[in-house]
Amino acid sequence: MNCPARGGIGWTDLCGIAGFTHKNTRPTDGRIRDATLALVHRGPDEQDVWEDQCVSLGAVRLKIIDLTGGSQPMVAGDGQAVIVFNGEIYNHAELRRELESRGHRFRSRCDTEVVLHAFLEWDVACFTRLRGMFAAALWQPERRRLLLVRDRMGIKPLYFHRRGQDLYFGSELKAILEHPEIERRIDPGGLGLYLSLNYVPGPYTLAGGIRKLPPGHWLEWRDGEVRTGAYWRLQFEPRQRPLEEAKEELDFLLRESVREHLLSDVPLGVWASGGIDSSTILHYAAQASASQLKTFSVSFRGRSFDESPYFREVARAYGTDHHEFDLNPEKDLEEAIQELAFYSDEPSADAGALPVWFLSKMSRRHVTVALSGEGADELFGGYYTYLADSLVRPLRHVPAVLRRAALRALSLWPVSDDKIGFEYKLKRFLAGSLLDPAAAHFFWNGTFSESDRQRLLAANGCPPLASLAGALPAEAERLDPLNRFLWLDQLYYLPDDILYKCDRMSMAHSLEVRPPFLDHRIVEFAAALPMDMKVRGSRLKFLLKELMRDKLPPSILARRKEGFDIPAHDWLRGGLRPLVEETLSPQALRRSGLFRAGAVEEAVRAHMERRANLGYHLWGLLVLFLWMKRWGIESLEAQPQDSEPAPGFASAINS
């Protein structure tokens, strides 16, 4: 089942994988086909399965390169191992040459076969040699050993569930929930974190008993026993270096990464927001491409946060074939939001998911692959929260009683319909000043405070937000505060919100999205930079802007950052109000058993009566309840064993 040889370089395409173990009997009920077909949107071009007495494996395929070959599951020539693989390995040609020098013989030009042989040669150590984005499962029949693995930054997803001595896994939750023996219930720990953060940080999920495999980790199942390990860990070791030297190295790394990410046998484009991140990717893509590039953008015409003047300027500068979609409340919003409940897999309270949905839908009409600027903010310091972390330090010397009084006075300030108005920012900033630094950092990126969450939930099994900082190793204490927050964002916010949102919304439309900034060489380069090359005074992404100063139009470098999301305060009071009131009705709230209905009803009233701007808060609840309804879990009780905090991966997988 290997892909055939071809004249050029072969690649595996982006897809989805699923599987489960079973002892000494081959299932005949078609469960692996059902689990695999639950992922068909990720791979509409081809689906197949493989089974033996212990394991069932399935894969779906979206054809990107090697359009006539590349079938999966793939079996090693001698039957030593079987693989299902989702991703792309950019250095597979050089790995192939090394493996051939060691006696390996290949029957194809596919990178999947390279991963398979690399695993047979180096076992788990092979993963440190892979450069790319991937999630995979490898089965060794003679050793009765199944290995799961996920790429360093968590670009590609992978979920798993332990039931007795068996292991279930899939690229999305729905591949696991497809099994009738898997109980559909809410994990209260995941629920509490979702309400606070707008996303569920790994290894938690919202589905009881199901966990995420963390980025850079592998998991081994062997005759019912499970063990885990990390093949790569992010390390922050900043050192001083000359600015020009850092610019030269970053320029080289970006050129190489974008060049590799452009390889494709199908139409390819670039997502362009008019910001520095996507414009940087477009710049290097235009340098490396011999043909005209296609660019894609979402506009909000008539809104103060509309970015169309900027992305149109960039598109003109690089002569792209430009396409844009104007997003407004009259354009199929309710239907799209209902579809999000299915394709989000587990809900994302990040309101940016909706524009990404429409951006992906539009892009797929023209291309199969798109490059994006994800990751630059987390690597190089691009969020205003990093400035807030600095600005709040002197404010913490003001007595807390005075800060609380100021916060109460601000509650009398009239609310606005601005996407993120000044009064909203000021209230969040002051409220964050009353928290410890780590909790404040999470709070500024989230929605409900811990006290709000306790009022909302009927039972609170969620660990405090500050405890998430415990995932950092002891050496992180030596870092300056801003580098610690960047590290936290790369551990949680990047894989579990930004990349999660991008993966689900794009794969819902069978579109592959590649983030060149997240080549692990660029990640390691950024982690070795001193903080003043990331945030200098009030200047965010200092090094990246210095690098691009003579490459991009000045207006792109000078513009202020706009979040890529919707005007939730306004839309939920306007065209989406009926959907909110129907979905968060008193009956639905009481039926769920998860929330104190009165507290949620009061939040809805406060927003609709313009006593508070709670649009982003209510958006998260709206998406959550639509998701619970879609998956038939709205009336199930959460089980207490899943409510225990999971300070580390090892304890999480055994819960």
At residue 655, the pLDDT reads 35
At residue 419, the pLDDT reads 62
Angstrom distance (rounded) from CA 479 to CA 528: 11
At residue 330, the pLDDT reads 59
pTM (predicted TM-score): 0.91
Q: Could you give the maximum distance between any two Cα atoms of the chain, in Å?
A: 75
To which H or E segment does residue 324 belong? strand 321-326
Structure tokens at 226: 């499970």
Closest CA to 318 of 493, 152, 552: 552
Residue numbers in the chain where pLDDT is lower than 70: 1-14, 24, 28, 62-70, 265, 304, 329-331, 417-419, 460-461, 562-563, 634-655
Amino acid making up residue 386: Y
Angstrom distance (rounded) from CA 154 to CA 187: 22
Q: Which CATH class is domain 243-381+484-558?
A: alpha beta
Angstrom distance (rounded) from CA 313 to CA 402: 47
At residue 300, the pLDDT reads 85
> Under DSSP, is residue 625 helix (H, G, I), strand (E, B) or coil?
helix
At residue 643, the pLDDT reads 35
Structure tokens at 452: 């709000």
Contacts of 313 (CB under 8 A, 6+ apart): 274, 553, 555, 556
All structural domains of the chain with their residue ranges? 15-230, 243-381+484-558
At residue 425, the pLDDT reads 83
Coarse DSSP helix, strand, coil percentages of the chain, rounded to the nearest 5 percent: 45, 15, 40
Block residue for tokens 């970006």 = 254
Angstrom distance (rounded) from CA 176 to CA 169: 6
Closest CA to 296 of 346, 194, 371: 371
At residue 647, the pLDDT reads 34
Q: In this predicted model, what pLDDT tens digit does every residue of 409-451 receive, in sequence order? A: 887 777 776 667 777 788 889 988 998 888 899 999 888 988 8
Phi, psi of 517 (to 5 degrees): -60, -20
Q: In this predicted model, what pLDDT tens digit does every residue of 461-517 receive, in sequence order? A: 677 777 788 888 888 888 998 999 999 999 999 999 999 999 999 999 989 999 999
CATH topology of domain 15-230: Glutamine Phosphoribosylpyrophosphate, subunit 1, domain 1 (3.60.20)
Contact status, residue 283 vs residue 84, Cβ threshold 8 Å: no
The arrangement of strands across the sheet holding 55-61 comes to: 46-51, 55-61, 15-21, 166-170, 159-163, 210-212
At residue 645, the pLDDT reads 33
At residue 70, the pLDDT reads 63
Q: What is the dihedral of CA 523, 524, 530, 534, to 10 degrees?
A: -10
Closest CA to 461 of 650, 173, 186, 182: 186
